[in-house]
Structure 1
Amino acid sequence: MTGTLPVGTEDLLRELAPQVLGTLVRRFGDFYTAEDALQEALLAAATQWQAEGLPDNPRGWLIQVAQRRMADAVRAEVARRRRETTVFERDVPDAEAVDRDDTLAMFFLCCHPALSGASAIALTLRAVGGLTTGEIAQAFLLPETTMAQRISRAKKRLSTLERPFARPSNAEWRERLGAVLHVLYLIFSEGHTTTSGPNLHRTDLSTEAIRLTRSIHRLLPEDNEVTGLLALMLLTDARRAARTGAHGELIPLAEQNRALWDRAAITEGVTLTTGTLSRGLTGPYQLQAAIAVLHAEALRPEDTDWPRILTLYTMIERMASNPMVTLNRAVAAAMVHGPAAGLELADTLDDRLAGNHRLDAVRGHLYEMAGDIDAAIASYTAAAGRTTSTPERDYLTIRAARLRRMPPQR
């Protein structure tokens, strides 16, 4: 076999990469060397599998190759010679390579209590989620250079600790759960609406986020926030087929063909969400899932229960203040009390969302609702100039152009 990789190999390598990294770090405790060894193993796989086809045990193959690379690196370091023969020359049994998935463990390991929450999330997104530094910076609304420094500092901080990647106890896993769920939410969000590039979706990221959240849900089925996050992802992803047109253009929620929504995913998401209600409304992911249920159950846009959605956003904001939650509450407030109420709330976000295109996009929508066409055009145009997503930019530009063509109102 020559010329191209076997079909599906790139997806397989993406799926196996965090598993192999987790295995190496768990066994040997050296994040930097494990990361370098993994990259070399992936390059070797891309070359050898193209010529020879897939090995019988791809994951075991990657672990063995990466382990040899780590052994080579350790031999070059005098300070680690004691581990050279006793640790790095061990073979990895095929049964362990196949049967144990270290991806989830890697999430928890990266969320070490010695790191701040923001640093742990950024490191995990880079090491396990596969996002670039630029994508992570977009998710955090920070410059890319700042995010690169944050990730570098996190790695350096971990390198000063003794056995920083020791497997956490069950109690420690619980303590780190909030950071892990936030990581999964950010990965899903980047997959659902990419921050840059020609496509609205990155299904590889959203699918992987759902897979990993399902795995955590199997471990913690009674946790409202785990269940809520999984439900939120399913209910949101159910709309994916209706969010873009024939040419990849963005279609907003109110204009989507709801017959294209994935009813099986909606049913599962609704079932998961309602199953948490007996334990009370306890967290923001569960509440966001409840909002997604209200959208999913509305057969037409005008059937949407906006008063209940506004109440739920108000509850979320009380639990965990966040400018994007406030922006969503502004939209709900406009739908319940009129666009002036929404614009008043949006105005409180000028400092917290300065330069963010979503604030301008929402303002454009609310000004359009209010009949202030000039202000709507200005806001849509500003939003289009600030987004790095091509589908979002095109949608906002077209929206402004359509308003310009409208006859003047008397």
Structure 2
Amino acid sequence: MMAAPSVAQRIPWFEPWLDEADVAAVSRVVRSGFVNEGPENRAFEEELKRFFGVPQAVTTPSCTTAIALSLMALGVGHGDTVLVPDTTFIGTASAVRLAGAEPILVDVDPHTFCMDPDDARRRARPTTRAIVPVHLNGRAADLAALRGVAAALGVPLVEDAAEALASRNRAGWLGTQSEAGCFSLAPTKIITAGQGGFVLTARQEVRDQLIRLRDHGRLSRASDRHPVTGFNFKVTDMQAALARSQWAKLPARIERSRQIDRRYREGLAGIPELAFPPRPTDGGYLMWPDFTSPRRDELAAYLAARGIALRPFWPALHQQPAYAAADEYPGATEASRRAGWLPCSPGITDEQLDTVIAAVRAFFGGRP
């Protein structure tokens, strides 16, 4: 058995990595005296448009609000239903309710953990007005099939790409292949603005409606006339400055994520009770290294006693009190029981990765 590490040696599941350049970026905005939403947001939106090759980008306080505002901008509201996968962070479903609609839960593919298009087709209702596929952990949902479902229903797709920043499929960047793609800059993402998110869209009218919804019903703060109802979902320039500073680190962070995943897969190969789902293909990457095991919860407790944190997958939405459903969702139920993420902070060292690998092997009875 391995001895428990000291507090200084504890290995978190994930923590953000901030440096002096990030401090300087935020300090610059504070010293300018303009801390509201303004030029830093506009500059970040321009960077996003250039990087992704899309006509429009709009910053938001989170991916949850990005999804909600996108649904509202596309006309979804009270009395409508929206298809969402049963395996996702609860914010996906909460965004639907924030828009005034009701989420309809759809089972997931047991290999990719993404929305099952056949189940989406079965569960659609006459009231369904949108589909929100989630690119879970950088793996692309089956957009081609889901686009067919959406077309048959006459409804838009809104991509939840909270965990797929700069991940790809064969067709291109995830989050750019629908009416709106929604992203997260939360502290557990590969880069962070503390909190924050953004929407990408090719449609000018969607962008304009997002702006109105974000800022009290107007397109410009130069006017005190508010033609439609809107809200206050703006992002401060301090957050945008931090996002821009972190953005410069994104290519290196993605490469490090690939290295972490590769080290775990090689170091933990050959353990019968531990499996690694397929990696994304066509330029995709895993934001967090995931695994499945029938002994996941035992493993989590064993590692926690040794100062190492892993994160189990979230409970399936139908298991959450706020979205409880009696229907059967076998793919999502299995993922909630067996799947988890190994430690993978951007700043994790190879020595720490080897400590995790040795502890996992010890738990399963293998030699470090």
Same fold flag (TM > 0.5): no
Larger Rg: 1
Say which structure is richer in helix: 1
TM-score tier (shorter)? under 0.3
Where relative contact order (Cα < 8 A, 6+ residues apart) is larger, the structure is 2
Say which structure is richer in strand: 2
Q: Give TM-score scaled by structure 1 length.
A: 0.25
Q: Give TM-score scaled by structure 2 length.
A: 0.27
